[in-house]
Chain A
């Protein structure tokens, strides 16, 4: 390993390239240990500037210099300019995120007539790097629209001849530079870095062609992440659109004409429906009529105290365990001992129950009880809905509860006061529109398939983000 790390040139990690990405941290710690040794043994070796992961056509050590020497540096800190309702968009530290400018956040403008005064220190160009000195510290983005004003905790950097701006963007976002910034930051509640310190920070860089190649690669990965996010948004829109049309019956499934039903229970129905080309009309029912049990969790004296939770035990879900999109946040599930579970017997979960958040900021959030929590228990902020399988499919109920019609009922009855909650009585009164069981099945399967697709894209996003992180760790020194 040591030899591999010491190699001044070429392919950083030939056979073990994949593990080096996954296990990036262990490698790094090896690396750190190694460099410590080297400091002890030989001073000359500490200046070795070669990244672990490198395009093979490039060789030789990287340069390193102070930020001040390699960029032209403009400080836009100081008194905030006069703002107006329209004019030139004002980019402040609030708009600068890790890697991009968020134009949706804090929409402020400076009057056009003041623009030249506000920007007397110099106008931005596409490609310039923006850096936030505090609140938040160390966010970096690249100017993609020259028609902006800059102010408040923003520094503008423009690479000199030897520096590619996009390379600089990725370099500054890499852990090596972020760590440096944090080490030099001062302040307690708000961490910030002084202009002087920032100018003195060291930046390592290879020759321009290698910079550009690294920049192009990392930008492509960013593009991919962005595309995946767009894909996710589109899919969510798609699901919302499908739900709009399905639950208002603008869009309807048709019965399968060929196959007789396999399930014994429905043969009678299929007999009557055999010649029908359409499912029957939906019926309006109250939630209480289609559930065999509606029950919230135990509260009062028997509610588990903080010291009664255990590491391993029966899953105990409270409202914090329900995400907005109908997901269960697994690391927000608490656990209670079996005895406690037996004591809290109001609401023992069963497979296919639907959970409903009956109070709080996340009121109305819904989740499905799958195998992982099917033997669990719930707190009083949650209500379990156990369907009467003859009338309604559990999965259909799940999607129904997220439909606009039900969400509207929840919103109109939510008084917004802290005391407000949907008791069992109020919950039972929600009105649902119920189609034929077979139509329910089709709708539920369709929507669940879209959910799976969204979930898959989500996983892709986090995997690609991890990939990017690995690259940032290894492609810079």
Chain B
């Protein structure tokens, strides 16, 4: 079976379990359980494999170590190693497989809720005082085993949980195969499935894979390694992980997410994708109000984001003294935080870095404070590198048209220009791409195919290329505008002003039209004669 088939099968199996078992439960509620248990199973497998590696020289295995005469000393040693290497610790009796076995032994439901709750707490607590504490603390808080949503009686709750564990136990997670991301991707697929199924509120939308891919490819242009990647509204972390796929190596992952449940998912998602706990730092707070104290002084090489569209924020005058916003002289309006996120990201962007951000179309042309901020970014800072218009209706749950802004602090990378084509220098220009008409309609949703995505990236990379063998200006698709042109348009970035997609009129053959008109006159004369004849017979006035 190919990797892809394996992945497809795993996704399907997991989704089927999720769907079959949830019964009458809300998809959103069930998500926290199924994702939590998958994660628990993953941790168990990793723990067991790791312990077995340690125990191998002694001819022991983790299954039997508890019956060893020096069990306690051995476990303590393993615990010490595991906390450093994995960031957490699980006793053999706490492993997923053990609990699943216990719950299902003798073909009847044995009560394991209590044990399970203890195990989950113990995973979280195992990290106390260690370096991984922030990454594991309260990780399972959404997995509430006492919730009445699971069932009315304790037995009913237990029955459901045992069923989920038993089903999951039958799946081979193939954790040993660390090269592939099969499990992590399947996990993410589930997150996406749940997101597209659930009603969305407050402008939060799960970023479609293809959009994530575009952002990731944009910020990794000309790079094979990244020191750091950051997402100030990271959600379940899919964007961060997507960026990692586009380069050989990412040093560190940083993210911030205000929703605690999503924040927990994000940490799980990171670990499921084999990101070492020392390599990531996710913070749970509102990015605009309380940016992570660990992040605020850092500068990141790649920043990606899909912030909530036109969210409300306080726009309190206090922000005018905040380093992130003070230079601009104006704050983003209260009802549209879009530019506040952009400003935050610009603040965190390293001098050699690139940021790409999905925003509603309105940021391109809305006036007042937003116009002012746009002007500042373009004229005073010259950070705006590219504007990419995406098709409407590509997000789950909203049909609004969106765009991507690409910003760079250092845009003076032009060295040589081809002698034949006189093109504006990079730092004197902005690339506009109109991809709004390039999509495939799938039922009610518009979808970007790989070919559409490739054209966007190809065009952007043409623009970035020092020699620019091909011009990034493509007929009815993209245009390299000079800053002067943008200035001429009062910093209005609405894409049709720059990319001409207006259909030319078909030229009209005047000779033919004139001939037709003359022929028509003869025909009309004939009709007139006929009508006149009838009118005469009726003895009424002819109307012509």
- B-contacting residues of A (Cβ < 8 Å)? 11, 14, 17-18, 21, 53-57, 216-217, 220-221, 223-224, 227-228, 230-231, 234-235, 237-238, 240-242, 244-245, 404, 408, 411-415, 417, 419-420, 425, 463-464, 467
Q: How far apart sit A231 and B528, CA to CA, in the bound complex (Å)? A: 14
Neighbouring A residues of B397 by C-beta, 8 Å = none
Nearest CB of chain A from residue B300's CB, rounded to whole Å: 32
Nearest CB of chain A from residue B356's CB, rounded to whole Å: 22
Stretch among B271-279, B310-318, B519-527 lining the A interface: B519-527
B513 at the interface (CB under 8 A from A): yes
A-B contact pairs, 27 of them (CB 8 A): A11-B539, A14-B539, A18-B540, A55-B534, A55-B537, A57-B537, A221-B531, A224-B524, A224-B527, A231-B520, A234-B520, A237-B513, A238-B517, A241-B510, A242-B510, A244-B507, A244-B508, A404-B505, A412-B500, A413-B492, A413-B494, A413-B497, A414-B496, A415-B361, A417-B361, A419-B366, A467-B543
Q: Which residue of B lies closest to A235 (CB)?
A: B517
Q: For residues 263 through 306 of chain B, which have their beta carbon under 8 Å from a beta carbon of chain A?
A: none
5 interchain residue pairs of minimum CB distance: A241-B508, A217-B534, A17-B540, A412-B496, A220-B530
| A14-B539, A230-B520, A467-B543 known; A217-B510 Cβ under 8 A | no
Neighbouring A residues of B361 by C-beta, 8 Å = 415, 417
Neighbouring A residues of B524 by C-beta, 8 Å = 224, 227-228, 231
Q: How far apart sit A227 and B524, CA to CA, in the bound complex (Å)? A: 7
Nearest CB of chain B from residue A471's CB, rounded to whole Å: 9
B248 at the interface (CB under 8 A from A): no
Q: Which residue of B lies closest to A464 (CB)?
A: B543
Q: For residues 487 through 544 of chain B, which have their beta carbon under 8 Å from a beta carbon of chain A?
A: 490, 492, 494, 496-497, 500, 502, 505, 507-510, 513-514, 516-517, 520, 523-524, 527-528, 530-531, 534, 537-541, 543
Main SS of the interface on chain A? helix
Nearest CB of chain B from residue A464's CB, rounded to whole Å: 7
Q: How far apart sit A57 and B537, CA to CA, in the bound complex (Å)? A: 9
Nearest CB of chain A from residue B360's CB, rounded to whole Å: 10
B365 at the interface (CB under 8 A from A): yes
The answer to whether A54 and B538 touch across the interface, beta carbons within 8 angstroms, is: yes
Nearest CB of chain A from residue B473's CB, rounded to whole Å: 15
| A413-B496, A415-B365, A464-B543 known; A240-B527 Cβ under 8 A | no
The answer to whether B541 and A217 touch across the interface, beta carbons within 8 angstroms, is: no
Nearest CB of chain B from residue A37's CB, rounded to whole Å: 27
| A220-B530, A227-B527, A467-B543 known; A241-B513 Cβ under 8 A | yes
Neighbouring A residues of B531 by C-beta, 8 Å = 217, 220-221, 224
Q: Which residue of B lies closest to A21 (CB)?
A: B540
| A228-B524, A237-B508 known; A411-B502 Cβ under 8 A | yes
| A14-B539, A227-B523, A237-B513 known; A420-B365 Cβ under 8 A | yes
Q: For residues 355 through 375 of chain B, which have their beta carbon under 8 Å from a beta carbon of chain A?
A: 361-362, 364-366
Q: How far apart sit A417 and B360, CA to CA, in the bound complex (Å)? A: 12
The answer to whether B517 and A53 touch across the interface, beta carbons within 8 angstroms, is: no
The answer to whether A244 and B505 touch across the interface, beta carbons within 8 angstroms, is: yes
Q: Which of A231, A235, A415 has the most CB of B within 10 A?
A: A415
Nearest CB of chain B from residue A175's CB, rounded to whole Å: 18
Q: Which residue of A lies closest to B510 (CB)?
A: A241
Neighbouring B residues of A21 by C-beta, 8 Å = 540-541
| A224-B528, A235-B517 known; A463-B497 Cβ under 8 A | no
Nearest CB of chain A from residue B372's CB, rounded to whole Å: 16
The answer to whether B494 and A415 touch across the interface, beta carbons within 8 angstroms, is: yes
- A-contacting residues of B (Cβ < 8 Å)? 361-362, 364-366, 490, 492, 494, 496-497, 500, 502, 505, 507-510, 513-514, 516-517, 520, 523-524, 527-528, 530-531, 534, 537-541, 543
Neighbouring A residues of B540 by C-beta, 8 Å = 17-18, 21, 53
Neighbouring B residues of A467 by C-beta, 8 Å = 543
The answer to whether B362 and A417 touch across the interface, beta carbons within 8 angstroms, is: yes
Nearest CB of chain B from residue A82's CB, rounded to whole Å: 19
The answer to whether B496 and A463 touch across the interface, beta carbons within 8 angstroms, is: no
The answer to whether A234 and B513 touch across the interface, beta carbons within 8 angstroms, is: yes
Q: How far apart sit A359 and B365, CA to CA, in the bound complex (Å)? A: 15
Q: How far apart sit A388 and B290, CA to CA, in the bound complex (Å)? A: 58
Q: How far apart sit A419 and B361, CA to CA, in the bound complex (Å)? A: 12
| A244-B505, A463-B543 known; A56-B510 Cβ under 8 A | no
Neighbouring B residues of A244 by C-beta, 8 Å = 505, 507-508
Q: How far apart sit A234 and B524, CA to CA, in the bound complex (Å)? A: 14
Q: Which residue of B lies closest to A226 (CB)?
A: B527
Q: How far apart sit A245 and B510, CA to CA, in the bound complex (Å)? A: 10
Given contacts A238-B517, A412-B502, A414-B496, 15 further A-B contacts (CB under 8 A): A18-B540, A21-B540, A53-B538, A55-B534, A56-B537, A57-B537, A234-B517, A235-B517, A237-B508, A238-B513, A240-B505, A241-B508, A241-B510, A413-B494, A415-B364
The answer to whether A417 and B365 touch across the interface, beta carbons within 8 angstroms, is: yes
Q: How far apart sit A122 and B509, CA to CA, in the bound complex (Å)? A: 45
The answer to whether A220 and B500 touch across the interface, beta carbons within 8 angstroms, is: no
Q: How far apart sit A237 and B513, CA to CA, in the bound complex (Å)? A: 7
Q: Which of B500, B513, B520, B537 has the most CB of A within 10 A?
A: B513
Nearest CB of chain A from residue B454's CB, rounded to whole Å: 27
The answer to whether B508 and A240 touch across the interface, beta carbons within 8 angstroms, is: yes
Q: How far apart sit A242 and B510, CA to CA, in the bound complex (Å)? A: 7
Nearest CB of chain A from residue B530's CB, rounded to whole Å: 5
Neighbouring A residues of B543 by C-beta, 8 Å = 463-464, 467
Q: Which residue of B lies closest to A410 (CB)?
A: B502
Neighbouring A residues of B514 by C-beta, 8 Å = 238
Neighbouring B residues of A419 by C-beta, 8 Å = 366
Neighbouring B residues of A18 by C-beta, 8 Å = 540-541
Neighbouring A residues of B496 by C-beta, 8 Å = 411-415
Neighbouring B residues of A55 by C-beta, 8 Å = 534, 537-538
Neighbouring B residues of A408 by C-beta, 8 Å = 502
The answer to whether B497 and A412 touch across the interface, beta carbons within 8 angstroms, is: yes
Q: How far apart sit A181 and B531, CA to CA, in the bound complex (Å)? A: 30
Q: Which residue of B lies closest to A227 (CB)?
A: B524
Q: How far apart sit A404 and B531, CA to CA, in the bound complex (Å)? A: 41
The answer to whether B517 and A231 touch across the interface, beta carbons within 8 angstroms, is: yes
Neighbouring A residues of B513 by C-beta, 8 Å = 234, 237-238, 241
Nearest CB of chain A from residue B229's CB, rounded to whole Å: 33
The answer to whether B520 and A227 touch across the interface, beta carbons within 8 angstroms, is: yes
Neighbouring B residues of A237 by C-beta, 8 Å = 508, 513
Neighbouring A residues of B500 by C-beta, 8 Å = 412
Q: How far apart sit A221 and B544, CA to CA, in the bound complex (Å)? A: 11
Q: How far apart sit A56 and B538, CA to CA, in the bound complex (Å)? A: 7
Q: Which residue of B lies closest to A20 (CB)?
A: B540
Q: Which residue of B lies closest to A55 (CB)?
A: B537
Q: How far apart sit A419 and B524, CA to CA, in the bound complex (Å)? A: 48
Nearest CB of chain B from residue A463's CB, rounded to whole Å: 7
Q: Which of A53, A224, A242 has the most CB of B within 10 A?
A: A224
Neighbouring B residues of A56 by C-beta, 8 Å = 537-539
Q: How far apart sit A301 and B510, CA to CA, in the bound complex (Å)? A: 51
The answer to whether A238 and B510 touch across the interface, beta carbons within 8 angstroms, is: yes
Nearest CB of chain B from residue A144's CB, rounded to whole Å: 18
